[in-house]
Amino acid sequence: MGTKIKKIAQDTFMLTYTPMGVNQFLLVGEQKALLIDTGYGKGGLDKKLKKLTSLPLIAANSHLHPDHSNGNFLFESVFVGEADLPERGMPSNDLARGVADYYLHNSRIPKALIGKILKLGLMRPGQEKYLPLEDVVELGGRSVKVLPCPGHTPGSCLFLDENTASLFAGDAINGAFWAFTSPQTNLKEYAEVWESLKPRLQGVKRLWISHHRAPLDAGYIDAFIKALRTAGAGECKLVGIKGTPEQVNIYKVKDEKFGTLTFWAYPSQVR
């Protein structure tokens, strides 16, 4: 029914909303369970969760983007990195509206289609209550550490589960990293954010990310940091998307082990 379940470790599940290929993760403890991201809340997510655990659920978002948080309506309260709390303004909604507005006035794309795409791209907080994530989420016999990692959004957080040597990273690291979603992010400064997190990530073996079903090897972190430091010096391609405050570029960096890493960023972010 649209949501695929995969057991990825003991008491740990990946739920993928297949039409959009976006993952949510369920970590079950002795007393509570943690859901990292709520996706679009579609594909029978609530029913699948009930099948996997009868424990009280703590819902959290790795960051407040629609593909990670539009299922928040299924819960009474949701935890999110403090800087991403909806009352801070949801800057990615402004970005989505800016792009939609451009195509509405400068293209022949039907208004209804633009509206449909925009609906997917907007955050729509409802009745649910938003609370800032704390340093640790206690599940009973399983403590999941929360590590702020500002970059993809100001409030992006990583979830470190020492029980399974796993890091759940949302969109904070991947082979196509979007920096333009948070214009104040500078890639070189973001490299330092990851560098400073490294001592806490020593035992991590796998990185689970939101838009790829296979985990990344822990060695990817070093390759990512190195690439963040050199992006801008090499090959770069313009993205055709219009209506953004600056032109988005794709900065490419080749890594011997992991292939090409790309960074979607404004020129002002790679200086």
Residue 48 touches Zn ion, criterion: CB under 5 A? no
Q: In this chain, which residue has its C-beta nearest to Zn ion? A: 65
Q: Shortest gap between Cβ of 195 and Zn ion (angstroms)?
A: 22
One-letter amino acid identity for 128?
E
Question: CA 115, CA 40: separation in Å to the nearest integer?
Answer: 17
- Find the binder of Zn ion among 28, 33, 65, 177 (CB under 5 A): 65
Q: How many residues bind Zn ion (CB under 5 A)?
A: 2
- Helix boundaries (H) for 28-169: 45-52, 66-69, 91-106, 111-121
Residue (84 or 171) nearer to Zn ion, CB: 171
Residue (104 or 122) nearer to Zn ion, CB: 122
Residue (11 or 84) nearer to Zn ion, CB: 84
Residue (29 or 66) nearer to Zn ion, CB: 66
Query: What letters, b where the CB count within 10 A reaches 16 and e where it falls short, cover 61-94?
Result: bbbbbbbbbbbbebbeebbbbbbbbbebebbbbe
Residue 171 touches Zn ion, criterion: CB under 5 A? yes
Q: Shortest gap between Cβ of 171 and Zn ion (angstroms)?
A: 4
Name residue, tokens 């907080």.
125
Centre a 10 Å sphere on the Cβ of residue 154 and count the other Cβ atoms it contains.
Answer: 18
Nearest to 55 by CA among 121, 138, 172, 124: 138
The 176-178 sheet, strands edge to edge: 176-178, 259-265, 249-255, 236-238
Q: Shortest gap between Cβ of 153 and Zn ion (angstroms)?
A: 7
The one segment of 31-39, 58-66, 133-141, 240-248 that binds Zn ion by CB under 5 A: 58-66
Residue (32 or 91) nearer to Zn ion, CB: 91
Question: CA 53, CA 195: separation in Å to the nearest integer?
Answer: 36
Residue 92 touches Zn ion, criterion: CB under 5 A? no
Q: Which residues bind Zn ion (CB under 5 A)?
A: 65, 171
